[in-house]
Amino acid sequence: MRTLMILILLTLCGCSHSAKNESKKELRLYLQANPLSLDPRIGGNRQSVPVNRLLFEGLFRMDQDGGYEKALAKSVDISKDGCVYTFTLQPSKWSNGEEVTAYDFEYAWKSILNPDFPTSFAFVFYDIKNAAKAYQRKCALDDVGITPIDSHTLQVTLEYPCPFFFELLTFPLFSPICRSYCQKEGASPEYLSNGPFVLKKHCLNSQIVLERNPLYWRADFPKVDTISFTIVEDSQTAYNMFCKGDLDWFGDPLGVIPLDMLQKIEPKSLYKKEAGLNTWLRCQTKKPFLSSKNIRKAIACAIDRDFICESLLNCHESPAKTIVPKTLSLLSSSPFKNGDVEEARHLFEKGLEELSLTKESFPTLTIEYRCDDQMLKDTAGLIQKQIEHALGIKVVLQESDYNTVISHMFSGEFILSLHDWLSFYQDSRSILSWVKQENLGTGAYNEAFDRADASLKISDRQRYLKEAEEIIMDQLPVIPIVHKTFKYIKSDRLHGEALSPSGQIDFMWSETRE
Q: In the structure, what pLDDT confidence band is assigned to residue 187 with cuts at 50, 70 and 90?
A: low
Q: What is the pLDDT of residues 398-414, one digit of tens each?
A: 999 877 888 898 888 99
Choice among 128-142, 236-250, 418-432 with the minimum mean pLDDT: 418-432
Domain 276-487: CATH superfamily is Dipeptide-binding Protein; Domain 3 (3.10.105.10)
Please report, as a single letter, which amino acid is at residue 264. K
Average pLDDT across the chain, whole number: 89
Q: What is the pLDDT of residues 381-398, one digit of tens each?
A: 999 999 999 999 999 999
Q: So what's the pLDDT on residue 131?
A: 97
Q: So what's the pLDDT on residue 411?
A: 87
Angstrom distance (rounded) from CA 405 to CA 92: 38
Q: So what's the pLDDT on residue 268?
A: 84
**Structural fold of domain 26-225+491-512:** D-Maltodextrin-Binding Protein; domain 2 (3.40.190)
State how beta strands 60-62 and 68-70 pair: antiparallel
Q: So what's the pLDDT on residue 45?
A: 85
Backbone angles phi, psi at 74, to 5 degrees: -70, -40
Angstrom distance (rounded) from CA 411 to CA 118: 13
- CATH 3.40.190.10, the chain: domain bounds: 26-225+491-512
Q: In the structure, what pLDDT confidence band is assigned to residue 185 with cuts at 50, 70 and 90?
A: low
Nearest Cα residue to 431 out of 148, 167, 123, 171: 123
pLDDT, average across residues 70-93: 96
Angstrom distance (rounded) from CA 227 to CA 244: 18
Q: So what's the pLDDT on residue 203?
A: 92
Angstrom distance (rounded) from CA 406 to CA 424: 16
Nearest Cα residue to 114 out of 182, 36, 196, 195: 182
Q: What is the pLDDT of residues 230-254, one digit of tens each?
A: 999 999 999 999 999 999 999 999 9
Listed in sequence order, the residues at least 6 apart from 484 whose beta carbon sits closer than 8 Å to its beta carbon are 275, 277, 278, 279, 317, 420
DSSP of 51-97: HHHHH---SEEE-TTSSEEESSEEEEEE-TTS-EEEEEEPP-B-TTS
Q: So what's the pLDDT on residue 8?
A: 35
Q: What is the three-state SS of 189-249? A: HHHCCCCCEEEEEEECCCEEEEEECCCCCCCCCCCCCEEEEEECCCHHHHHHHHHCCCCCE
Answer yes or no: is pLDDT of 9 > 70. Answer: no
Tell me if 280 sits within 8 A of 478, measured CB to CB. Answer: yes
Answer yes or no: is pLDDT of 21 > 80. Answer: no
Answer yes or no: is pLDDT of 438 > 80. Answer: no
Q: How far is CA 370 from the centre of its chain?
A: 16
Choice among 45-59, 214-228, 410-424 with the minimum mean pLDDT: 410-424
Give this prediction's pTM: 0.81
- CATH 3.10.105.10, the chain: domain bounds: 276-487
Choice among 16-25, 48-57, 316-325 with the minimum mean pLDDT: 16-25
Q: So what's the pLDDT on residue 4?
A: 38
